[in-house]
Amino acid sequence: TSVELGEHRHYMHKEIFEQPQAVIDTLEGRITQDQVLVSSFGPKAEQIFKTVEQIHIIACGTSYHAGMVTKYWMEDIIGLPCQVEVASEFRYRNPVILDNTLFVMISQSGETADTLAALHQINHYRKVHDLDGITSLSICNVAESSLTRDADMTYLTHAGPEIGVASTKSFTTQLVVLALLLTSLGKVQKRLSKERESMIAGGLQKLPNLIRMALEHEEEIRDISQLFADKQHALFLGRGTMFPIALEGALKLKEISYIHAEAYPAGELKHGPLALIDETMPVIAIAPLDDLLEKLKSNLQEVKARGGQMIVFEDERSDISSETSFKVVKATTNVGRITAPITYNILLQLLCYHVALIKGTDVDQPRNLAKSVTVE
Ligand code: AGP
């Protein structure tokens, strides 16, 4: 391939470290110090965004996880109804689609067969039911792709070429674009105050630095990854937007280290997965300083009481103690609601990468997987 590996052992590692720049490139020309430029979505965006009554996000894999984070953001920050669905489900059911729905198709490659088929399904439905309030927006990393060709509007992530099969910088830049979408919708529909907009814009400007700070934890995380040398299972826990981040961590671990991993919203533990916990099952918890921290702490006590080994990624100001069964990475300070999931995910990427190195797998080309799934 024409993309150089440079000093990195794997493309995945290189791409993890490219994230500060990928965010800068994705924000370029689309944001000012305190504003998001709605016009960056195209000349018709403002008019379309005014009429949108609900969002329906469709994607696969990691791109689907970006959609899940967005559902929390959309309903919480601007109060716009938002649902998220995997493309392979959407395309084979008979969905009820309401007029004035904005469909957001997220795909790094723009060639994923299921996502593309879902878009075609939407286009067909719109024609048959004569609903002209339905619009599709593709969020893609590849400009000339099938998805960008067939969607009404396109917004590019400028992550640059992603070679590793495991998606890293494309996920991060998708979330950046989705934050811009959320802010634009909120602004046009007057669901977002100027102060709030300026806070989000400011947070996004700070993001490259927050990511750099997260990347500085690599050595510490590499040491922790030793714990997985003889492990076959892992459980990721998070609440709120950290639940999709937990899912993304579990997917990444499965893909590149072949360790069986699951993710649960921490509150669901007691409804079943707690039965799995013993000393052979590391539990990875994502614990930002937010309204849910106290709840999460009591979930972690439940794990501890059953002899589970815990790895906690937490805020510098949190106080989840460093007892023997807890390995704590004190990572991020001053992350906001938008920047937190993006920043914590970087730490999980590093963890999964280093676990894969220990397991000796083919990190960039894991067995049985393809970079883009263009067949069913
Ligand atoms: C992520 O690490 C995966 N390899 C995979 O889940 C991927 O995100 C999915 O296949 C969707 O791909 P796309 O974004 O190109 O549509």
Ligand 1, residues 373, 374, 376: which to mutate, most atoms within 8 A of Cβ? 373
CA atoms within 13 A on the CB side of 287: 28
Hey, whose CA ends up nearest to atom 4 of ligand 1?
166
Q: Is 292 helix (H, G, I), strand (E, B) or coil?
A: coil
280-302 burial: b if 16+ Cβ within 10 Å, else e: ebbbbbbbbbbebbeebbebbee
Closest atom, ligand 1, to C-alpha of 170: 14
Active-site residue identified among 295, 304, 330, 371: 371
Ligand 1 centre from 253 Cα, in Å? 14
Ligand 1 centre from 141 Cα, in Å? 12
pLDDT digits (tens, 9 = 90+) for 238-256: 999 999 999 999 999 999 9
Structure-block tokens of residue 252 = 């990444």
pLDDT of residue 293: 81
Ligand 1, residues 11, 12, 60: which to mutate, most atoms within 8 A of Cβ? 60
Q: Is 194 helix (H, G, I), strand (E, B) or coil?
A: helix
Structure-block tokens of residue 76 = 């919480």
Torsion of CA 208, 213, 219, 224, to 10 degrees: -100
**What pTM, to 2 d.p., does this model score?**
0.96
CA dist 108 and 157 (Å) reads 8
pLDDT digits (tens, 9 = 90+) for 163-198: 999 999 999 999 999 999 999 999 999 999 999 999
Please give the chain's pLDDT, 376 residues, in tens.
Answer: 568 898 999 999 999 999 999 999 999 999 998 999 999 999 999 999 999 999 999 999 999 999 999 999 999 999 999 999 999 999 999 999 999 999 999 999 999 999 999 999 999 999 999 999 999 999 999 999 999 999 999 999 999 999 999 999 999 999 999 999 999 999 999 999 999 999 999 999 999 999 999 999 999 999 999 999 999 999 999 999 999 999 999 999 999 999 999 999 988 988 998 889 988 899 999 988 888 888 888 888 888 888 888 899 988 887 776 565 677 787 776 778 999 999 999 999 999 999 999 999 989 998 888 888 888 7
Closest atom, ligand 1, to C-alpha of 166: 2
Hey, whose CA ends up nearest to atom 6 of ligand 1?
61
Instruction: Name the H helices within the chain.
Output: 11-17, 19-27, 45-51, 61-73, 87-90, 113-129, 146-150, 169-188, 194-215, 218-225, 242-257, 293-305, 339-359
Ligand 1, residues 16, 64, 108: which to mutate, most atoms within 8 A of Cβ? 108
Quote the DSSP letter at residue 229. T
Q: 258: closest CA among 376, 356, 165?
A: 356
Q: Is 156 helix (H, G, I), strand (E, B) or coil?
A: strand
Quote the DSSP letter at residue 36. B
Ligand 1 centre from 167 Cα, in Å? 6
Closest atom, ligand 1, to C-alpha of 115: 16
Give residues with Cβ within 8 angstroms of 46, minimum separation 6.
38, 39, 188
Closest atom, ligand 1, to C-alpha of 255: 2
Structure-block tokens of residue 7 = 């000093």
Hey, whose CA ends up nearest to atom 7 of ligand 1?
61
Cβ atoms of 115 and 60 within 8 Å: the answer is yes
Ligand 1, residues 86, 112, 255, 369: which to mutate, most atoms within 8 A of Cβ? 112
Closest atom, ligand 1, to C-alpha of 371: 4
Closest atom, ligand 1, to C-alpha of 112: 16
User: Ligand 1: residues whose CB is within 6 Å?
Assistant: 60-63, 107-109, 112, 115, 165-167, 255, 372-373
Ligand 1 centre from 197 Cα, in Å? 30
CA dist 246 and 269 (Å) reads 13
Measured between its terminal Cα atoms, the distance across the chain in Å is 26
Ligand 1 centre from 109 Cα, in Å? 8
pLDDT of residue 247: 98
371 among known catalytic residues: yes
Helix (H) or strand (E) holding 84: strand 82-86
Cβ atoms of 257 and 361 within 8 Å: the answer is yes
Ligand 1 centre from 171 Cα, in Å? 9
